[in-house]
Amino acid sequence: MRTLTRSLASPSRAGVTLLEVVISATILALAFSVVISSIETETRALGALTEFAATSEQRSQVLAKIERKLEFATGKTPTAFLTDDLSSLSVGSLALDTVGGFPAPSAVLLARGTENEEIVAYTEVHQDDLTLKTLVRGSSCSTPHAHPSGTEAIWVGLARPCSNQVNPSESEYDGKIRALEGTLFYQGRGTGFVYRVPIDPSGGNDYFTDGELTLGAEVSGTQTTDGWCCIYFKTKDQITELGTGLDINKDGDLADSFDLGQIRQRVWHGTDSEKTPTDVALGASIFLQETCETGSDLNADGFNDPIFVWDADKRRLHISLYSIAISESSIPAVHHSSLTLFMRNSAAL
337 vs 52: CA distance, rounded Å: 13
pLDDT band at 42 (very low <50, low <70, confident <90, very high): very low
16 vs 140: CA distance, rounded Å: 76
Q: What share of the chain is helix, strand, coil (3-state, %, to 5)?
A: 20, 35, 40
Which residues is 339 bridged to in the sheet?
319
Q: Where in the chain is the domain with CATH 2.40.10?
A: 76-156
8 A C-beta contact, residue 234 and residue 286: no
- pLDDT of residue 21 exceeding 90, the answer is no
All residues at 6 or more sequence positions from 314 whose CB lies less than 8 Å from its CB, including other chains: 347
CA 258 to centroid of chain Cα atoms: 10
Per residue in 194-241, pLDDT tens?
999 999 999 888 999 888 899 999 999 999 999 999 999 999 999 999
Kindly write down the DSSP assignment for every residue of 261-328, as one continuous string: EEEEEEEEESS-TTSPPEEEESS-S-EEEETT-TT--SSSSSS---SEEEETTTTEEEEEEEEEEE-T
All residues at 6 or more sequence positions from 48 whose CB lies less than 8 Å from its CB, including other chains: 325, 327, 328, 329, 331
Q: What are phi and psi of 40, to 5 degrees?
A: -65, -40
Kindly write down the DSSP assignment for every residue of 183-213, as one continuous string: EEEEEE--SEEEEEEE--TTSSS--EETTEE
Nearest by Cα to 153 from 80, 77, 78: 80
Q: Which amino acid is at 77?
A: T
All residues at 6 or more sequence positions from 245 whose CB lies less than 8 Å from its CB, including other chains: 254, 330, 332
161 vs 172: CA distance, rounded Å: 10
8 A C-beta contact, residue 294 and residue 140: yes
Q: What are phi and psi of 129, to 5 degrees?
A: -120, 15
- pLDDT of residue 55 exceeding 90, the answer is no
CATH architecture type of domain 76-156: Beta Barrel (2.40)
pLDDT of residue 32: 43
- pLDDT of residue 3 exceeding 50, the answer is no
Of the two residues 12 and 75, the one the predictor is more confident about is 75
Give CA separation, 169 vs 138, 161, 166, 189, 297, in Å.
25, 14, 9, 18, 19
All residues at 6 or more sequence positions from 51 whose CB lies less than 8 Å from its CB, including other chains: 325, 326, 327, 328
pLDDT of residue 324: 85
pLDDT of residue 330: 61
Per residue in 295-342, pLDDT tens?
999 999 999 999 999 999 999 999 999 998 766 666 677 889 999 999
292 vs 257: CA distance, rounded Å: 9
